[in-house]
Amino acid sequence: MTAFIHQEAREKARELRLKAEEEYAVERARLLRAELAGEKEYEDKRAKEMARRVMVARGVESQRVRIKVELLREELIHTQIYDLVKRETASLSCDIKFIQALIKEALDKIGFDPDEAGACTIECRQSDGDLVKNVLRELHIADLKIQNTLPDTSLGGIIVSKTLGHASKRLQCDNTIKARLQLAIEGTLPMMRSTLFGANPNRKFDT
């Protein structure tokens, strides 16, 4: 009887040990799966973060390159094309009819009155002083002050000013060739960009 009891006890102990080992194996497998899932989730998050950083870096670099190209294009238009047109218009400063037209237009813009000629000033290059005097004589304008304040290195043309009241305000019309040329270039920039570089999809308003 005692042997039977001992045998039953051993069998029961064996069953408990096997069950404990089975439960341990199941729990260990569960923990291992959870650990692997956590590592995979971490790696997935890390991969997504790296991909996001790469996309941001590419976007920044693309924007930097686009801006650099735009600046180079603008430099080409404003320097090389400007210099080309400047050379082509160099003779205009010696054209008496052209200078006369500039002076007439400037006087009209400031509302010139012959009776107020003393309040008006015309600026020009020293080398153009005689030309401007001849134009004013042809226009029968006297008492208008001439100042040789524009540098001889400039393209020429004139600036006409009119003092209002007690010198507190002045009207001014910049009709230098440089100013006229700059206005002409700015007005044709969209056409120049399109002709030289084609349509730019990044420009919503081509100005």
Tell me, yes or no, whether 79 and 143 share the same domain.
no
Mean pLDDT value across residues 51-59:
84
The C-alpha R_g of the chain, in whole angstroms, comes to: 43
Q: Lowest mean pLDDT of 24-33, 46-55, 67-76, 96-105, name the range.
A: 24-33
Please tell me the total count of domains within the chain: 2
Asked whether residue 99 falls in the same domain as residue 183, the answer is: yes
Domain assignment of residue 74, yes or no:
yes
Q: Which of 68, 88, 108 corresponds to the end of one domain?
A: 88
Predicted confidence (pLDDT) per residue in 127-147, tens digit:
899 999 999 888 888 888 999
If asked whether residues 120 and 82 sit together in one domain, one would say no
Q: Could you tell me if residue 206 is inside a domain?
A: no
Are 77 and 119 in the same domain?
no
Full domain range(s) for residue 167: 93-187
CATH for 135: 3.30.2320.30
**Predicted confidence (pLDDT) per residue in 18-38, tens digit:** 776 777 777 777 777 777 777
How far apart CA 59 and CA 67 sit, in angstroms, is 12
* Same domain assignment for residues 178 and 121: yes
Name the domain boundary from 38, 57, 88.
88
Do residue 11 and residue 46 come from a single domain? yes
- Nearest by Cα to 99 from 69, 132, 74: 132
Domain match, 126 and 155 both: yes
pLDDT tens by residue, 62-83: 888 888 888 887 777 777 777 7
Determine, yes or no, domain membership for 199. no
Find out whether 100 and 94 touch, Cβ atoms under 8 Å.
no
Residue 2: pLDDT above 80? no
In a domain, 194, yes or no: no
Residue 76: CB atoms within 10 A of its CB come to 15
The domain boundary, picked from 88, 113, 142, lies at: 88
pTM of the model: 0.56
Residue 108 CA to residue 190 CA, distance in Å, equals: 30
Task: Give 106-131 pLDDT, tens digit per residue.
Answer: 999 988 888 888 888 999 999 899 99
Q: For residues 169 and 46, is the Cβ–Cβ distance under 8 A?
A: no
For residues 82 and 100, state if they share a domain: no
**pLDDT mean across residues, the chain:** 79
| 128 lies in the same domain as 143 | yes
